[in-house]
Chain A
Amino acid sequence: MQETPYKIHRIMRQLSHGCTRASKCTLPAILKFDCDDSPHCVYNENVVVRLGQTLHVPIADGVLTHTGDGPAFASLEIGSPGLSLPNVIDSRIERIARTYPGEAAALTAFDILIGNWDRKQNLKASVATPHIKLFLGFDHSHALLNLKEDPWDSIKCLGSTDLTVRFHPFYGYVDLDILHWWAERIAATPDAYIRECCMMGKTFRAVTEDLQEYLSQALVKRKNLLPSIIAENEPTITGEA
């Protein structure tokens, strides 16, 4: 059939008036406390979120909140209220790394920076819904000061050239070029920004200002060494070691 020529016009919806219509709401979150297994959990989680936001690494947002026991950390729930996303299982790691090469590299570099050896299971990513891009890490209770049993040992470890993260779900799958790019990018962050992420301006729960100061020094050192730490440990990171 012959097509008649046509013009298309868009019908614009009327916008609501320009006020912001602020209103109260509640958001689902996972509350985390200090515990025997992770005695500096709240401090760790809070500092890691600040670092992640400073470096633009894909981790869940979170805030400090108050409970009867003092400050606790609320990690904003990833997913939809009413149904949370499934945790990652081994057989999906490769697909996730393929779907999100940039995010996977960013998170791997970041985990090496903060000494997080507990990434497995602590990641949510959508793979079946093409129109929803979602890749976020969470749970940083075993990094930073809780890397070792004693916080001073953790600081010593972070300040060294040790890879510290022996196993990581993205080892063997991460794109090395992008990983190096992230390491350089993190190394280029001004030292003062890293320090500001670590300092709470007072003793915070069991974390004294001394601990905060030494941690920040170790992290600054580690950040600057990150490209060489990653370069020297390529066999482990590529899964060939």
Chain B
Amino acid sequence: MNVTYALIQYVEDPIRKEGRNIGIIAQGFNYLCLRMLGVKPPDIDVTLFEALSPKSRECGWVYLEWIDWFQDLVNDKGMTLDKILAIGRTLEGGNLVIKDGGMIEASDKGILDDAADYLFKRLVSQPKRRITGRFADRIDDILKTAKIYYQGDFEKDISIEFLPVEKASITVTLPIVLMQKPRTVFKVINPRGSVDSLLRQVNDAVYTFDTLVSNGFVDKDHCIAITDKAPAPKAQHINRLADYANIVLLSDLDVVSKVTRVVEKGKIHHH
């Protein structure tokens, strides 16, 4: 059985015309099959696309529209690879193009999904997630991609003052909270500064998570500490947080789905 396929390419500079493969559409066994960078149904992570180049960094939401567009395209009744290539010709000169890929031989007993997975793995390389820009901007990006930013109960930069009966009040500050129960709270620990600065941040985060949990504001599984990889002495301090929260590293490839999972399901922290 022959499987024919098309390449989906991102062309950062249409004048230079150098495309980078970001997806494939395979046709065989009377079906069409789509694979695109960052798409693992039901999860879509556009930050991988954003990591491709400085230009693509602001375009995650447009890429999301393209993913949806391609899904509509391959699900359209009577759609064939030839028709898709014809539509692809109208995209020439733009940042996203469709190119004829060629053909591969697939086992007659196989299924198209396997061939598509194989092609995707061979032809589309996963970009390294580079940390560029300010730490705070990166966090904003991730919150946007995980759609946390747009939830009605999203609160930024608040302080919470607990008023226990007949005891002194206690105040903690939070950069990010989802107020609807089960609540999710975030603390941000920027490891880029001095060890002293990191230590202060970790202590504050520990105190904050502990206070929030012991006052019944949030459960431990819904606490997130957002930070990043750091060399050994710093990493030791960061690891202390594991007893209080889910640690999420900005450079994790699956940072967005990790955050989403904690918000949706709550997850026991790991080491």
User: A residues bordering B, Cβ < 8 Å?
Assistant: 1-11, 13, 79-87, 89, 91-92, 126-132
Contact = CB atoms under 8 A, between A and B. Distances in A.
Given A3-B215, A80-B61, A82-B95, A9 B69 contact: no
Interface in B52-106: 53, 55-59, 61-69, 72-73, 75-76, 87, 90, 94-96
B159 interface: yes
A132 to B, nearest CB: 6
B157 interface: yes
B55 A81 contact: yes
Nearest to B213: A1
B65 A128 contact: yes
Q: State the main secondary structure of chain B at its contact with A.
A: mixed
Nearest to A95: B72
A42 to B, nearest CB: 21
Contact of B65 (A10, A126, A131): A126
Q: Which of B62, B147, B163 has the most CB of A within 10 A?
A: B62
A4 B168 CA distance: 12
Interface of B: 10, 12, 53, 55-59, 61-69, 72-73, 75-76, 87, 90, 94-96, 147, 149-150, 155, 157-164, 173, 215-217
B88 to A, nearest CB: 12
Nearest to A13: B157
Given A82-B56, A83-B56, A85-B65, A4 B90 contact: no
Contacts of B73: 89, 91
A79 B62 contact: yes
B87 to A, nearest CB: 7
A86 B97 CA distance: 11
Given A4-B217, A84-B95, A128 B64 contact: yes
A197 B53 CA distance: 42
B68 A127 contact: yes
B162 A6 contact: yes
Nearest to B172: A6
A106 B10 CA distance: 34
A217 B53 CA distance: 52
8 contacts: A4-B164, A8-B160, A9-B158, A10-B158, A11-B157, A82-B56, A83-B66, A85-B62
Given A10-B157, A129-B61, A4 B162 contact: yes
A83 B59 contact: yes
A214 B93 CA distance: 38
Contact of B64 (A2, A79, A91, A129): A129
Given A80-B62, A89-B72, 5 more contacts: A4-B164, A8-B160, A79-B62, A80-B58, A86-B96
A128 B157 CA distance: 29
A9 B62 contact: no
A156 B8 CA distance: 47
Contacts of B62: 79-80, 83-85
A127 B87 CA distance: 20
A234 to B, nearest CB: 29
Given A82-B58, A84-B62, A91-B76, A128 B162 contact: no
Contacts of B65: 85-86, 126-129
A132 B158 CA distance: 26
A100 to B, nearest CB: 14
A226 B161 CA distance: 61
A11 B158 contact: yes
A12 to B, nearest CB: 8
